Amino acid sequence: MNIKSIIDLKNCPINRPQSVEYLEMVKTVKTGLAEDGCAVLSNFLSNDGLDALVSEAEKKKSQAFYAKSKLCNVYLAQGNAAEDDQHPQNIFLERSNGFITADLLAEGTYAHTLYYWEPLRSFLAACLSKKELHIYADPVSNMIINLCKPGQTFNWHFDTNEFTITFLLNAAESGGHFEYVPSLRAADDECFNEVKKVLNGDRSRVKRLDLNAGDLQFFLGRFSLHQVTPNTGATDRLLLIQSFTEKPGIIGNPQRVKDLYGKVTDAHKDRIDERVRTDSLLD
């Protein structure tokens, strides 16, 4: 299948940057991100493209990695012994989803072809107000499929990345909802009390987004707490996640990559420890 058949270019002409439709899409995304930290372009993938990506994911599912430690705090980091057990750093929640890692989606796969298609990257950069975006150089985690089987969940957390690009490949039949609390913390403030309220069940600021298979979602997950609720249906929820960086050659922290995805490569051993974040927030 040609790359141009994976995306519904009639509905979302990202290969025609001068078109009115293109500019409208960029505007829609920018507005959503500014107001809510979140934006969706519905039916972004074509039916054929969606089918191809799903069947590719189905073939790789048996090789998905599940982390041994199933309890994580919202920072996906260590607890803090200096704080009490009600502090957000010390509240550990279940994370039971698995990941099909990038090394299983090699060159020639539909997922790889989509990720490396330059017009897509240019379009994403325009939507995110970035001069340019680079492929995240991490060979294990730059493009992954989040696999949430019946009964599994990915509880409240913040992302390390400023933004995330996802394509829902298969929605859960029930449950498996994406929920988020926009701008719960800021670059200079962890807002621990607000985080604690959500973890204690306060839903007054929680928003739920109903996504459909084929949708493209932009999300600023560094500051917005978010979760995928338990999958209560009988089928797997599948989500393709693409990561990009503003500078080339960035790869993940080896320990974190090993913990989350179960493997590292020689590239991780040679990694120069470069902190790329512009804030001092907990992971």
Tell which positions 197-226 bind Fe ion, by CB under 5 A: 221
Q: Does 138 bind Fe ion (CB under 5 A)?
A: no
Of the two residues 46 and 141, which places its CB atom closer to Fe ion in the complex? 141
Segment interacting with Fe ion (CB under 5 A) among 71-79, 90-98, 105-113, 152-160: 152-160
Taking the complex as a whole, the smallest distance from the CB of residue 219 to Fe ion amounts, in Å, to: 8
10 Å CB burial of residue 267 (0-12, 13-18, 19+) is: middle
**DSSP letter at 162?**
S
Taking the complex as a whole, the smallest distance from the CB of residue 124 to Fe ion amounts, in Å, to: 17
CB-based burial, 161-190: b 16+ in 10 Å, e otherwise: bbbbbbbbbbbbeebbbbbbbbebbeeeeb
Q: Name the CA dihedral angle for 119, 31, 210, 93, rounded to a multiple of 10 degrees.
A: 90
Q: What angle do CA 130, 132, 137 make, to 5 degrees?
A: 115
Of the two residues 159 and 194, which places its CB atom closer to Fe ion in the complex? 159
Of the two residues 56 and 159, which places its CB atom closer to Fe ion in the complex? 159
Taking the complex as a whole, the smallest distance from the CB of residue 268 to Fe ion amounts, in Å, to: 21
Of the two residues 89 and 109, which places its CB atom closer to Fe ion in the complex? 89
Q: Which of 8, 56, 159, 215 binds Fe ion (CB under 5 A)?
A: 159
Of the two residues 176 and 221, which places its CB atom closer to Fe ion in the complex? 221
Q: Does 8 bind Fe ion (CB under 5 A)?
A: no
Segment interacting with Fe ion (CB under 5 A) among 28-36, 73-81, 117-125, 154-162: 154-162
- CB atoms under 10 Å from CB of 82, counted, come to 8
* Three-class DSSP category at 238: strand
Cα distance between residue 154 and residue 148, in whole Å: 8
Taking the complex as a whole, the smallest distance from the CB of residue 157 to Fe ion amounts, in Å, to: 6
DSSP β-bridge partners for residue 146: 99, 239
Which residues of this chain interact with Fe ion, rule CB under 5 A? 159, 221
